[in-house]
Structure 1
Amino acid sequence: MPVLSVLSTLLYFISMPVPWALGHPHITPCRLSQSTALCNSYGLSSVPSDLPQQIEELFLNQNFVSTLQNDCLSRYASLRLFSCASNRLRAVEEKAFSRSPLIESLNLANNDLHHGHKQFAQSLRSLTRLRTLDLSSNGLTEDMVSDLLQNLTSIEFLYLSGNILLRLDESTFRDLYQLKELNLERNLLFEIDGAFDHLQKLLRLNLAFNSLPCLVKFEMTQLVMLNASHNLIEWFITNSDVTEIFQLEMLDLSNNRLLFFPFLPTHSSIRSLLLSNNQINFYSHLAVNNSSNWTTNVEYYNMGRNASNITADLWDESLHGDISSVQLLDLSGNQLRYFPKGFLQKMPHLYWLRLRRNCLESFNLTAEDVPATLYELDVSNNRLTELHAQPSSVSVLNNLTHLNLSLNDIKRLPPRVFNTLPSLNTVDLSYNTVGICHSGDISDSDTPACVVWTNHSSLKQLYIAGCSIQNLPPLVFEGTPLTHLELSNNPDLLIGQDSLSGLSGTLQHLGLSNTGLQNFDFSPYKHLKFLNISKNAIWELPKSLLMLNLKLLDLRNNMLSTIQSEHATALADRVQIVYVNGNAFNCCHLEWYRMFEESKALCAVDLSEVTCIDLHRQSQKAMFFDSVDCGSRSTEESIFWYILLFLSVCLSLVGISVIYLLTYRPKVLPRAIKKKCWRPTPY
């Protein structure tokens, strides 16, 4: 029996699956998940040697590894991914990866590998299957990079951002025939001389945040994405001799110094064209009044060869290239004064058009000038004084959903211009001088300085802040199911209880900041979630607010001296976020403050900034004020006043008695004095 028992026990343990934990000691600090070892931020100074041999992914980021020694990964022959980013890595010995030939992804970013890069280059030779290499932020120069990448023909994804590359030539990436993605952002590049000509499989190229002065003779037809933003680029010129179709879908030239619209390929597939924050303008109007003082073409000189290789007619509109596939055009922050005739119609698939912060003085919102596919139009912060629109042609723009005309100088609009846009969902007219009128007050022939907002079934969000609106007529939004209404910064606004009639079932966001509001009944608007009544003259919290379940309530910069306890309790139960700073709170009535502070449901964002006025009329931080000061001070002052009052009464009675005796009983007082004080002498 004992022998059978021992055998059965042995068979039981033999039949059990052996976990990885049995293959190494239990002292490793790393977390193991299937074939991955996570050793990030454990203060390690070397590669752990007690991990399972079968791991395929090893992460050692944010540690203190200074050297990858020879055969440091020899235990992990199945390793496919090794990440040792953000360490103190200064050296990689020649045979560091010799026993891990299966590594496909190597991340050594944010280290100091510019030290001993020759030895590091030798270690990379054994990684014949390497597909992804990240050497960002290692202080590498272009010569170092050229040495490191020699013979690494298998690399497909290369990240070199944050180094000190100055100039690239055909030798830098000479062996990377399989390269698909290259990131060179945040270097010091000022010249690229044929560095990408042989990279026929390169699809994504990031050159952002460098010092490139121009991109000329661009002919990378296979490229899908090019990000050259945040450089010093003044010219982008495609090689017009290339007849192939460019596969480029996204071109980002924002935050450069472009003076002209880029000279794009004659056959392209560009969908996103990002040109914001340049100095782009159109100059075809100058050709009409051309004189001998104006040049009609520009010649680009390649200073290296000292020869002219590009001549362009500045007024030739064909230089814009093929923009027929563009869906997103961002020209924000340029110097546009107009568009050439028919320019926008060259983009029949245009979906987003962003033109904020330009110099446009007028805009034609007609089917003849704007593509019918347009979904979003942003012309904010320009110099618009008028918006041209014809009801017959505007109605064709049945896809326009978001329209931003804020921060212009518009004073007059066709009163029913927005009613003719059937899909319009959002309109921002803030900071123009356009009022509100009721449809019954105007005729079709009128051109008043107001707009009709009634019976617009698709309109959900309306922003008319800072429009100098003084009167809000009754039923002005009737038939328009607004969910967002912004009326802030109209300081002389007279808003009646029936002005918002019809919005009780839909209104969710209401902005009434700086409108002179003192009191208003919010109880009909049961669906309100965001309410801004800051910068007004509210002395007491409206009781109607206590009926709402708000996500956000802004009460800043009013005249509240306190919030009654029952009101504070209701707010703490119903409101999620509240702003209360900037009121003249009384330091001796801060019960509401303690409730807000202790509430777990309410988040009073600026509670630590709230100030109050104490008994000495001094402003103090409410969070540091001790309520005991109110009690002791008030008691002392009350006793002092009682004593003073008692003394005053006593002195008054004595005075009155003396005056009475001296007036009506003149002999009584001397007799009493004589009786009291006169004593006979003994002689």
Structure 2
Amino acid sequence: MPVHSLTPILLCLLPVWIILTPGSCHPQLSPCQLIQRSALCNNANLSSVPSGLPHNTEELQLNYNHFQTLQDDSLLGYPSLKTLSLACNSLEKLESNTFQNSKLLESLNLANNKLYIGYTETSYALKKLPGLKALDLSENELHDEFVTILLQNLTSIEYLNLSGNLLQRLDETSFSDLHQLKELDLQRNIMFELDGAFDSNPKLQRLNLAFNYLPCLTDFHMTQLVVLNVSHNFIEWFISNDLNETFQLETLDLSNNKLLFFPFLPSHSKLRNLYLSHNNVRFYDQLADNGTSLNSTTTVEFYNLKNHMRNVTARLWDDGLHGDISSLEILDLRGNQVEYFPVGFIQKMPTLSRLQMCTNCLETLNLTSEQFSGSLYELDISNNRLNQIVADEGQRGSALSMHMGSNK
């Protein structure tokens, strides 16, 4: 199944708790539930941090309240805080000394607020968190320049959520200080260009760019990535930089785009899951035989928008450009325009276990000549144009589950 969105730091939907906590002599009404060293003060009609909580509180949840400003003295009484969540408030800014006594804070959730208003002062506050590892700034109406300022000098960040903002274009300055970044969620923005945005993040392993406006991904050279989700964009071309290094990529989700052809994958990779459903994917070599003329081109050039540097040229009609698919276990090609499998294409995937080909344009399928792997247990070829399927006795008696459905 396709790659889903990255897991948020904390959920906003939490129950309302009103309990009695012991005071010096008599019980007092508290808006918080205390569980060990956690104080859950969600949906409690608060506009300031409650006083009187245990001094050694390590987790403080203040989601669904009415905060507008987190003031300099708000957290002075809780020096042991490791996790703070203020999601789903009306928070406009954090005063510059908010975290003067919060040196242990590792996880900060500020999702679904209005930080676009006071992002400059908030940036000063964030700089005073030397051990911050997880930061959620999703749904704060943040523009490109706001994010660049907010993230300055946050060198310890490992997880960052910027989903649901107003980012349009990222460049080499956007995340230049985030050298420890491992997981980045940028889904549901309005991005149309990436220009060296991740060159300063050598440890980045999981990147979510789903639901944006990217037109193509060329010169892909992020060898350290393990999971890349660029589904639901407008991508017509995916072209990897032909490096000698082995790409660590295991899952690539390009579903729900406008891909014209099978992606140009790395020459050396560990790719296991490739999701290409709901595109316009076709293969190349029959186009070369039937569609090219003496005057037609066999190459296409892609230009970087910045000074036309690092031009990428791809040779069309070369089925060798499929790249390394020897580790593929799942290939999802549902809802494309595939008419045939190139010679030897199936044989390049000896570990393939699931091949989903429903709603394509296949007319014939020869299971014998294609030499499907013995590990293949699911083949969905429903809703194609099949008029002939050839299989030997061994294949007909195998454990392969074949879905044919309706064919014309």
Q: Is residue 139 of structure 1 aligned with residue 138 of structure 2?
A: no
Give the secondary-structure state (helix, strand or coil) at the position aligned to 1:311: strand
Q: Is residue 335 of structure 1 aligned with residue 337 of structure 2?
A: yes
Amino acid at match of 2:229: N
Mapped to 2, the partners of 1:64 and 1:260 lie a distance apart of 50
Within-5 A mapping of 1:70-469: 70-240=72-242, 242-289=243-290, 290-306=292-308, 309-366=311-368, 368-395=370-397, 398-400=398-400, 402-409=401-408
Mapped to 2, the partners of 1:393 and 1:378 lie a distance apart of 15
Residue of structure 2 equivalent to 1:528: none
Work out which of the residue numbers 30, 36, 39 in structure 1 matches 2:38: 36
Give the secondary-structure state (helix, strand or coil) at the position aligned to 2:46: coil
Mapped to 1, the partners of 2:279 and 2:295 lie a distance apart of 26
Q: Which has the bigger relative contact order, CA under 8 A and spacing at least 6?
A: 2
Residue of structure 1 equivalent to 2:4: none
Give the secondary-structure state (helix, strand or coil) at the position aligned to 2:135: strand
Give the secondary-structure state (helix, strand or coil) at the position aligned to 2:170: strand
Query: Residue 293 of structure 1: CA displacement?
Result: 4.8
1:36-64 per-position Cα deviation (integer Å, ceiling 9, x unaligned): 11111122222111211111001111111
Question: How many corresponding residue pairs?
Answer: 387
Amino acid at match of 2:327: S
1:215-263 per-position Cα deviation (integer Å, ceiling 9, x unaligned): 11111111101111111111111111x1111000000111111101110
Give the secondary-structure state (helix, strand or coil) at the position aligned to 2:74: coil
TM-score w.r.t. structure 1 length?
A: 0.55
Mapped to 2, the partners of 1:257 and 1:113 lie a distance apart of 34
Decide whether the 8 Å contact of 1:23 with 1:52 is kept in 2: no
CA 1:23–1:281 in structure 2 vs 1: closer, same or farther (change >3 Å)? farther
CA 1:88–1:283 in structure 2 vs 1: closer, same or farther (change >3 Å)? same
Mapped to 2, the partners of 1:403 and 1:393 lie a distance apart of 11
Give the secondary-structure state (helix, strand or coil) at the position aligned to 1:256: coil
CA 1:364–1:68 in structure 2 vs 1: closer, same or farther (change >3 Å)? same
Mapped to 1, the partners of 2:327 and 2:24 lie a distance apart of 59
CA 1:355–1:266 in structure 2 vs 1: closer, same or farther (change >3 Å)? same
Give the secondary-structure state (helix, strand or coil) at the position aligned to 2:154: coil
Pairwise CA RMSD: 1.8
Query: Residue 158 of structure 1: CA displacement?
Result: 0.5
Mapped to 2, the partners of 1:159 and 1:399 lie a distance apart of 43
Amino acid at match of 2:140: N
Mapped to 1, the partners of 2:394 and 2:331 lie a distance apart of 26
Mapped to 2, the partners of 1:135 and 1:44 lie a distance apart of 21
Query: Residue 365 of structure 1: CA displacement?
Result: 2.7
Query: Residue 394 of structure 1: CA displacement?
Result: 4.1
1:529-566 per-position Cα deviation (integer Å, ceiling 9, x unaligned): xxxxxxxxxxxxxxxxxxxxxxxxxxxxxxxxxxxxxx
Give the secondary-structure state (helix, strand or coil) at the position aligned to 2:268: coil
Mapped to 2, the partners of 1:145 and 1:187 lie a distance apart of 13
Give the secondary-structure state (helix, strand or coil) at the position aligned to 1:226: strand
Decide whether the 8 Å contact of 1:227 with 1:253 is kept in 2: yes
Give the secondary-structure state (helix, strand or coil) at the position aligned to 2:148: helix
Query: Residue 26 of structure 1: CA displacement?
Result: 2.5
Decide whether the 8 Å contact of 1:372 with 1:399 is kept in 2: no
Amino acid at match of 2:289: V
Give the secondary-structure state (helix, strand or coil) at the position aligned to 1:27: strand
Decide whether the 8 Å contact of 1:299 with 1:308 is kept in 2: no
Give the secondary-structure state (helix, strand or coil) at the position aligned to 1:302: coil
Mapped to 2, the partners of 1:84 and 1:119 lie a distance apart of 17
Decide whether the 8 Å contact of 2:250 with 2:271 is kept in 1: yes
Unaligned 5+ segments in structure 1 are 1-19, 410-683
CA 1:173–1:303 in structure 2 vs 1: closer, same or farther (change >3 Å)? closer
TM-score w.r.t. structure 2 length?
A: 0.91
Amino acid at match of 1:212: L
Give the secondary-structure state (helix, strand or coil) at the position aligned to 1:118: helix
Amino acid at match of 1:254: S
Mapped to 2, the partners of 1:304 and 1:368 lie a distance apart of 44
Decide whether the 8 Å contact of 1:361 with 1:385 is kept in 2: yes
Give the secondary-structure state (helix, strand or coil) at the position aligned to 2:124: helix
Decide whether the 8 Å contact of 1:71 with 1:99 is kept in 2: no
Decide whether the 8 Å contact of 1:365 with 1:394 is kept in 2: no
Name the structure with the higher helix share: 1
Mapped to 2, the partners of 1:153 and 1:307 lie a distance apart of 29
Within-5 A mapping of 1:615-634: none
Mapped to 2, the partners of 1:306 and 1:92 lie a distance apart of 41
Mapped to 2, the partners of 1:349 and 1:399 lie a distance apart of 15
Query: Residue 21 of structure 1: CA displacement?
Result: 3.4
Name which of structure 1's ranges 28-37 and 290-299 shifts more when overlaid on structure 2.
290-299
Query: Residue 185 of structure 1: CA displacement?
Result: 0.5
Decide whether the 8 Å contact of 1:214 with 1:233 is kept in 2: yes
Residue of structure 2 equivalent to 1:454: none
Residue of structure 2 equivalent to 1:569: none
Query: Residue 92 of structure 1: CA displacement?
Result: 1.3
Give the secondary-structure state (helix, strand or coil) at the position aligned to 2:129: coil
Query: Residue 66 of structure 1: CA displacement?
Result: 1.5
Mapped to 2, the partners of 1:36 and 1:367 lie a distance apart of 63
Query: Residue 297 of structure 1: CA displacement?
Result: 2.0
1:550-601 per-position Cα deviation (integer Å, ceiling 9, x unaligned): xxxxxxxxxxxxxxxxxxxxxxxxxxxxxxxxxxxxxxxxxxxxxxxxxxxx
Query: Residue 310 of structure 1: CA displacement?
Result: 2.4
Unaligned 5+ segments in structure 2 are 1-20
Mapped to 2, the partners of 1:294 and 1:321 lie a distance apart of 25
Identity between Structure 1 and Structure 2 (%): 56
Amino acid at match of 1:315: W
Decide whether the 8 Å contact of 2:177 with 2:200 is kept in 1: no
Query: Residue 323 of structure 1: CA displacement?
Result: 0.2
Mapped to 1, the partners of 2:127 and 2:358 lie a distance apart of 52
Name which of structure 1's ranges 22-31 and 113-122 shifts more when overlaid on structure 2.
22-31
Mapped to 1, the partners of 2:91 and 2:263 lie a distance apart of 43
Work out which of the residue numbers 60, 64, 69 in structure 2 matches 1:62: 64
1:292-326 per-position Cα deviation (integer Å, ceiling 9, x unaligned): 25432222233432468222221111110000000
Decide whether the 8 Å contact of 2:175 with 2:197 is kept in 1: yes
CA 1:80–1:170 in structure 2 vs 1: closer, same or farther (change >3 Å)? same
Mapped to 2, the partners of 1:44 and 1:104 lie a distance apart of 23
CA 1:23–1:120 in structure 2 vs 1: closer, same or farther (change >3 Å)? farther
Amino acid at match of 2:250: E
Give the secondary-structure state (helix, strand or coil) at the position aligned to 1:121: helix
1:104-146 per-position Cα deviation (integer Å, ceiling 9, x unaligned): 0000000000001111011111111100000000011111111
Mapped to 2, the partners of 1:110 and 1:258 lie a distance apart of 33
